[in-house]
Amino acid sequence: MNAAQESSTTIARAALSRLFEPSDAVGLALVAAAGPRDALRIATGGLKAAGDIKEEIQELLAPGEGRGNLLDRALERWAPRRPDLAPERDLATLARFGGRLLTPEAEDWPGALEDLQLAAPVCLWVRGSVDVPPLQRMVALVGSRDSTNYGASVTAEMASGLAMKGFTVLSGGAYGIDAQAHRAALGTSGTAQPPTIAVMACGVDRYYPAGNEELLRTIARDGLVMSEVPPGSSPTRWRFLARNRLIAALGAVTVVVEARWRSGALNTAHHAAGLGRPVGAVPGSVYSANSAGCHRLLRGGSAICVTDASEVAELAGPLGTHPETDVCVPSSDHDGLAVQDILLLDALPLRMYSSIDKLATVAGLGFRDVLAGLARLELAGLALRGPEGWRRAPKS
């Protein structure tokens, strides 16, 4: 691809991202079948789709069904937006904000998005100068807007701990858990570069919500603010839902810190699980409605319990690795002892000395076993030999 082609491809993708809503299946199939430049010409009526393009779209979206009107209905859907297309103007707007457009054709395209397959975005509008880190270095922290003090402090500790370990903290730029995650990552002088990325449901020229303007401005300067919708786009419900899939795809792990029983954060978790990415959920009080969504995820088996940054980092490790299943062992000074030695330890008096005979009776062990066991317990510093027999060694 020469420079002119590259440029026209970029412009085509910029235009398509305004024409299509996020996750427009027919639109994305059209791009897959015809390439972005012809897709734009077809979508805007400048080129009639050949039969094989229609067939390929049909095959991509509904294999074997054989009804070929998917594209025609989509063309009707896209028609009202044609007059609004001005991709060069949009790209100029982005450049004014010091941003750039990421496209699948370029080397800096986050490969992790390809896991979304046909639902991968047409392009990404990005504000900020650093590169998007690879999947293995990104963790998404998400949660409710109406977070509690508990949620806020867990988020802050987790984000800060992750940033110190070199992870970029992804979130959605919203109030509550999102804002706390971004803030804590920005405030941590670690090795993570960028410390944080906000994936927005609106255009990157807008600071939404207004109360986070200062925060988003800082993220655009020190990290990255990105969106699949072009400048000027407002954050709609659909774009919020679709945006969640990008957060889920970009992070090696998605952690839900605090969420109500029904919460958009669970939607992000669901996307992550669907992509085979590990999902973490932070436990909390059973009396907190703000933890009910996390407990729901844990109970349903779609999330793993995480309580700190290290446990999250462990999930982010080699992809898909789960923490080792614990063997639950009880604690304290009989750890690692064989059954007979535990019996013997139980039989040893704490203060007085006991004879071998007495120990055999109390422990229910034979004399040889008592003698052998006492030697082992003495070595372990648990039994004390005295003139009148044996007793428990005092705890050190």
Q: Write out the binding residues for a copy of itself, residues 338-357 only, by CB under 8 A.
A: 339, 342-343, 345-347, 357
Candidate residues 8, 32, 44, 81; the one interacting with a copy of itself per rule CB under 8 A = 81
Should residue 263 be labelled a site residue for a copy of itself when binding is judged by CB under 8 A?
yes
Return the number of the residue (189 or 332) whose C-beta is nearest a copy of itself.
Answer: 332
Distance (Å, whole) CA 254 – CA 282? 11
Binding span for a copy of itself by CB under 8 A among 86-94, 121-129, 214-222, 282-290: 282-290
Candidate residues 6, 52, 84, 88; the one interacting with a copy of itself per rule CB under 8 A = 84
Distance (Å, whole) CA 325 – CA 315? 13
Candidate residues 155, 168, 267, 354; the one interacting with a copy of itself per rule CB under 8 A = 267
Should residue 210 be labelled a site residue for a copy of itself when binding is judged by CB under 8 A?
no
Should residue 118 be labelled a site residue for a copy of itself when binding is judged by CB under 8 A?
no
Distance (Å, whole) CA 58 – CA 66? 7
Return the number of the residue (84 or 108) whose C-beta is nearest a copy of itself.
Answer: 84
Should residue 163 be labelled a site residue for a copy of itself when binding is judged by CB under 8 A?
no
Should residue 266 be labelled a site residue for a copy of itself when binding is judged by CB under 8 A?
yes
Candidate residues 133, 311, 382, 393; the one interacting with a copy of itself per rule CB under 8 A = 311
Per CB under 8 A, contacts with a copy of itself among 355-384 are 357, 360-361, 363-369
E strands, 47-181, are 99-102, 124-127, 138-143, 168-171
Per CB under 8 A, contacts with a copy of itself among 23-42 are 23-24
Should residue 146 be labelled a site residue for a copy of itself when binding is judged by CB under 8 A?
no
Asked if 281 contacts 294 with a C-beta cutoff of 8 angstroms, the reply is yes
The residue to which tokens 């007979």 are assigned: 340
Per CB under 8 A, contacts with a copy of itself among 35-74 are 73
Distance (Å, whole) CA 178 – CA 265? 10
Distance (Å, whole) CA 271 – CA 294? 15
E strands, the chain, are 99-102, 124-127, 138-143, 168-171, 196-199, 224-227, 253-258, 279-281, 304-305, 383-386, 389-392
Should residue 92 be labelled a site residue for a copy of itself when binding is judged by CB under 8 A?
no
Per CB under 8 A, contacts with a copy of itself among 221-250 are 236-239, 241
Distances (CA, A) of 84 to 15, 20, 40, 186: 9, 12, 14, 37
Token pair of 137 as six digits: 């270095």
**Cβ at position 64, least distance to a copy of itself in Å:** 22
Binding span for a copy of itself by CB under 8 A among 89-97, 101-109, 212-220, 293-301: 293-301
Distance (Å, whole) CA 100 – CA 51? 35
